[in-house]
Amino acid sequence: MTMPSLDPRRHPMRPDLAAEYLRGQVTAERFVAGREMRIAEPVVDLRSRPSPDAGVETQALFGEIFIAYEDQEGWVWGQLKRDGYVGYMSANGLVVGESAATHKLTVPRSFVYPGLSMKLPIVCALSLGSELKVTKQHGDFVEVEHLGCLWAAHVAPLDQTASDFVSIAEMFLHVPYLWGGKSALGLDCSGLMQISLQAAGIAAPRDTDMQWAELGQEIALGDDLAGLQRGDLIFWKGHVGVMRDAHNLLHANGHHMMVVSEPLRQARDRISAKSHGPIIGAKRL
């Protein structure tokens, strides 16, 4: 059906349907150009199948663009524009229309209010990286089109980036572990790396194997774990974390079921013995 180099996680292709841009590269019964839709809820799951009990592959945040190729029985099959991931989303979390976002959320989580007071009952809560169309500023608040009001200090223009992605990751300490998650409600190891790097203006793929293949340059790593520095990424097969300094690793993991900071040597010995095997390498951006 496909050329070996194409990955169904990032190429919209099925035997019956594929994206128009893949014509000539894959075999499918029909090809569709796709249409842009926007994520209209704080967090929307992207699933492996069109079913509420299907596994969550990743998540999309408010304002992100989803290229839809099929809309059937309440499920939309398509591809996230931000990182290219392919899967199924509930149609309830999507609206038709191109993005007109001007700003993004720069804190792990912030409340949306129906008016200019923090004493009002909240409308919803948004997560880091949500994309927003700010229409007006009212003192300490900004007004977001079709949504409500947010604390102005929690948003920034889309092109503004953080100077240190590790500082972004550190803001998520003690957030619960959630397979496929990438919000302040819960996230997994590669989700933590992706949203932190994106906040610093570094495009990052979603899954651990993609990050190992595509991010940074491999650096030598001996049994003594010497020579590491803040920002180095440490990889196991199916797991990733980031160094806070020469000795301590920050990572979302299923042992603690949260984001934790711990000595790399301690994490290495436990993970190698119980789950993902030995460290496969380290990358420096």
- Judge whether 55 and 48 are in contact, CB under 8 Å: yes
Residue 266 and residue 172 share a domain: yes
Domain carrying residue 223? 165-284
Residue 279 and residue 233 share a domain: yes
pLDDT digits (tens, 9 = 90+) for 140-180: 999 999 899 999 999 999 999 999 999 999 999 999 999 99
5 confidence band (pLDDT: 50, 70, 90): confident
Domain's final residue, options 96, 113, 130:
96
Residue 147 and residue 132 share a domain: yes
pLDDT digits (tens, 9 = 90+) for 238-276: 999 999 999 999 999 999 999 999 999 999 999 988 877
Q: What is the CATH number of the domain that holds 150?
A: 2.30.30.40
- Judge whether 54 lies within some domain: yes
Residue 108 and residue 92 share a domain: no
DSSP 8-state class, residue 241? E
Report the percent of the chain where pLDDT is more than 70. 98
Looking at per-residue pLDDT, the higher value among 4 and 162 belongs to 162
pLDDT digits (tens, 9 = 90+) for 21-69: 999 999 999 999 999 999 999 999 999 999 999 999 999 999 999 999 9
Structure tokens at 80: 């996230």
Domain's final residue, options 137, 157, 177:
157
- Judge whether 3 lies within some domain: no
Dihedral angle computed from the Cα positions of residues 90, 201, 123 and 181, in that order, rounded to the nearest 10 degrees: 50
Place of tokens 């957030």: 175
- Judge whether 48 lies within some domain: yes
Q: What is the CATH number of the domain that holds 239?
A: 3.90.1720.10
How many Å apart are CA 95 and CA 197, to the nearest integer?
A: 27
Residue 178 and residue 277 share a domain: yes
Q: What is the pTM of this model?
A: 0.95
Residue 229 and residue 201 share a domain: yes
- Judge whether 150 lies within some domain: yes
Residue 30 and residue 135 share a domain: no
- Judge whether 273 lies within some domain: yes
- Judge whether 102 and 134 are in contact, CB under 8 Å: yes
Task: Name residue 263's beta-bridge partners.
Answer: 248
- Single out the residue of 171, 279, 162 nearest to residue 222, CA to CA: 279
Domain's final residue, options 46, 73, 96:
96
**Domains identified in the chain, total number:** 3
Residue 174 and residue 151 share a domain: no
- Judge whether 34 and 22 are in contact, CB under 8 Å: no
How many Å apart are CA 187 and CA 80, to the nearest integer?
A: 18
Using only C-alpha atoms, the chain has a radius of gyration, in whole angstroms, of: 20
